[in-house]
Structures are given as structure tokens and as C-alpha cells.
Amino acid sequence: MACVIGTSREPRRGPQAGKSGDPRSQNAERHPDQNRVLGLRLGNIGLEGPFPRGLQLCSFMTAFDMSGNNFSGPLPEHIFEQMAYITYLDLSNNSLSGVIPAGIANMTYLSTLALQHNQFDGGIQAQLGNASQLISFNVADNSLSGPVPDSLHRFPAANFTGNPGLCGAPLDKKCKKSFMVRIHVRLVRIREMFVRIHKLLHRINDASIIGASAGFILGFVLAFYFPHKFLFCGRLQPYTFRVCG
């Protein structure tokens, strides 16, 4: 399926071609997009087989609809990276399978992505929600699993239903943490607790050393300059001496 339906760029000549000075004698160029397919609608016409080849030639196409057919098999991994101007992509109601290519996120102008009623499996790539122009996203009734990426929470829950393995907002089904994830979380929390305890003990130790040092210095000064405050036994008074006259 070649999207360039004509490569001839031969100029059209008017009926007065050849007469100098007549503007109609100049070459009449065709519109630059006249020989390019800008939109391709193949919906509900009974097509089947793998995903159509040759779409990489449709570098200027902005809309592609092949919904309501019986296309099957996976989507090409890098096919959409060469279709940079797509704004409307409808592949719904087919039998497409495999993972949803993350390369779809490279479609900068993509505003509508309809993948519902297929057999896609695996998780939803978080990159799919990074398309800044995306205003419609639907993957209902597939075999997808895992959490719905945060970047796609803005779409209604109905656009994700029919996937028994999907969980998390906007769906009501909460995601269950796997055993290894729970163990990892607990180990992280235990490590954080030990770090806090170590810091606390370090602070207590530093405070104890500072307090003991300050107490020793203060006690020495008081005992040296004010011995009468500490000598309660009269028998020790002969051993005292005056510091100041």
C-alpha cells in the first residue's frame, strides 16, 4: 500500500501556453500536497490480515481509520515514528494483538487514539500519556494488565474497562502489590528506621560528650576558685589556699 499516489510533477499548461507576456503561458504547478494521501479511511469494509504495510510512506498523513475490520497480529514497533503528523488514529474493533508500541507516544500531534475492542496484552506504556495533544484515549475490551499510568488518569474509567488485569485509577480496582514488591518496601522501611536510630544515637552521644565536658570544666572552675563552697569537712580546711588576696 503506497501512500504516494502520484509522483508526476509535470506542469500543466494553459490553453494559451507559448504566448509570451501572457500569465497563462507560465507553468501552473500543482498543489504540493495534491499527490499525497493526507487521510485514509478503511473502516468497516471487511478487510483482514496483518497490519497494512507501506504506511511508512504516509509521512504526511494526518488521519488513519481502519476500524471495524478483521486485521490481526501485532503492530509494527517503529511504524508510527515515521508518521509524525497523525492526529487521528482509530484501530478499534479488530483482532490486533501484542503490546501497544511505545512509539505511538512519538506522534506529537496525536489527539485521538482508539484501540478498544482488540486483543492487546501486556501493560500500558506510561509514555503514551505524554502526548501533549492527546484528548481521547480508549483501550477498553482488550487483555491489558498492570496499573494504569498516572499520565492517563485524566481519561474516564469506561475507556479502560474490559481489561481484567488492569488496576488503579481511574478504575475502582486497586492494584495488589506483588510479594517481592512488599518485601522490598519492608526492607526499605527497616533500613530507614535503622538510619534514623543511628542518627538519634549519634546525636545523643554528641550531646553526652559535650555535656560531660562542660560539666567537668564548670566543676573544676568552681572548685578551684570557690573551694569553701565544696569543703564541708573542717579537717580539710587547712589544706586550702587563697587564690586572691
Host domain of residue 163: 37-174
pLDDT of amino acid 131: 76
Task: Identify the segments of the chain with pLDDT beneath 70.
Answer: 1-35, 177-189, 191-192, 205-216, 218-245
pLDDT of amino acid 27: 37
pLDDT, tens digit, for every residue of 62-76?
999 999 999 999 998
pLDDT of amino acid 11: 36
pLDDT of amino acid 189: 67
Residues 101 and 164 in one domain: yes
Residues 73 and 124 in one domain: yes
125 vs 115: CA distance, rounded Å: 14
pLDDT of amino acid 229: 55
Residues 119 and 158 in one domain: yes
Could you tell me if residue 71 is inside a domain? yes
pTM over 0.85: no
Peptide bond into 170 cis (omega under 30): yes
pLDDT of amino acid 32: 53
Three cell numbers written together for 169: 485509577
Residues 162 and 205 in one domain: no
**Beta-bridge mates of residue 39:** 63
132: left (phi over 0), alpha (psi -120 to 50) or beta: alpha
Spatial neighbors of 88 by CB under 8 A, at least 6 apart, are: 62, 63, 64, 65, 111, 112
229 vs 227: CA distance, rounded Å: 5
Residues 69 and 190 in one domain: no
- The proportion of the chain whose per-residue pLDDT surpasses 70, expressed as a percent, equals 61
Number of domains the chain is built from:
2
Could you tell me if residue 1 is inside a domain? no
Residues 113 and 54 in one domain: yes
Residues 93 and 189 in one domain: no
Residues 161 and 195 in one domain: no
* CATH number of the domain that residue 70 is part of: 3.80.10.10
113 vs 120: CA distance, rounded Å: 14
